[in-house]
Amino acid sequence: MKIKEILSVLEEMAPLAYAEDFDNVGLLVGDQNAEATGALVCHDALENVIDEAIAKKCNLVVCFHPILFSGLKKITGKNYVERAIIKAIKNDIAIYAVHTALDNHQDGVNKIFCDALGLKKTKVLIPKPNFIRKLITYTIPENAEKVRNALFEAGAGNIGNYEDCSFNSKGIGTYMGNEHSNPEIGERFEFVESEEIKIEVTFEKYLEPKILKALFKNHVYEEVAYEIYDLQNPHQNIGLGMIGEFESPMDEKDFLALVKDKMQADGIRHSAFLGKSIKKVAVLGGSGSFAIKNAIQADADAFLTADLKYHQFYEAENRLLLADIGHFESERYTKNYIVDFLRKKILNFAIILSEENTNPVKYL
């Protein structure tokens, strides 16, 4: 098995197109055409993790956080990033990062967070904007079903919990081919009026090449008429953060005790107690201060995230309980999810969960 075969499974789990523009995801180091000897899954691809990969004969390290985040002008080993990269290259170890590609997935980081707490009725807190496009095309009735099914197979027509969604309407199309044409109906230089079906489907924008390939392959016309539009609708199943509910409300102190236990947090910083019960909870794994207002707008009773600064606790505005449970802690089960996903998809191959704790924050 080549490394690139594992990467295709990782992209199935967390499409790179889901990642934020500022992020650095995908294959960061290594040759995807090399034969894979094993995959080590970790949170951070630090030097000690590369040592672990060497010891366990894994030439692919799958990490959540990208060890290479911004550009490097020199690689001299002067810091932890450069040392890890040098060791990986010297030992022919590839490094692949998922980060916000998995953050934005409906089954990713924040769903894992919600599941760990036992939250139900979950939905994305900040749906991803500018990610949906619409395709409109026209064909004869005899060809409509074939075209429609091909578009569905390519990934078009998914709306929330529904698939194979389309809108179809009848109309009259007209055309006249020139001397170079080869019309499906009629002859060259003949003005043709033909009954046609207008097909409309939506799709995630990164699928456009695949959608168009399916359209051209299955359409009967020599020249395929089609239109593609960007939609303003946010994608309800892709985006940052998540909000869910407990089956029964609980006291604020009991809630934080539950969070501390389930997320194995050594300490939780939080805003003032408001004396109200907690039922609806927003979460955002990692640094999530930018989503405080979103949590308030969603009527959350509490918002769990990490890396909050002093003044950001004021932004709770006595409207919700705001808690910083730690960056690593809020994402701690992500690597377990990746391992489970890969083991279900790739059989008889070494998928290993890293034993290294890469949390740089310690507590007294």
Residues at the binding site for a divalent metal cation are 65, 103, 327, 331
On whether the CB atoms of residues 324 and 307 are closer than 8 A, the answer is yes
On whether the CB atoms of residues 339 and 6 are closer than 8 A, the answer is no
How far is C-alpha 97 from the geometric centre of its chain's CA atoms?
12
Rounded Cα distance between 165 and 138, Å, is 16
Rounded Cα distance between 126 and 322, Å, is 17
On whether the CB atoms of residues 354 and 44 are closer than 8 A, the answer is no
On whether the CB atoms of residues 46 and 67 are closer than 8 A, the answer is yes
Rounded Cα distance between 218 and 329, Å, is 49
Q: Which helix (H) or strand (E) holds 174?
A: strand 167-175
Rounded Cα distance between 135 and 224, Å, is 12
Q: Which helix (H) or strand (E) holds 123?
A: strand 120-128
Token readout for 206 is: 């990164």
Paired strand residues for 243: 123, 282
* Greatest distance between any 2 Cα atoms in the chain: 85
On whether the CB atoms of residues 188 and 178 are closer than 8 A, the answer is yes
Which residue positions form the known binding site?
Answer: 65, 103, 327, 331
* Beta strands 39-44 and 60-65, pairing class: parallel
How many other CB atoms are there within 10 angstroms of residue 306's CB atom?
A: 22
Rounded Cα distance between 47 and 42, Å, is 12
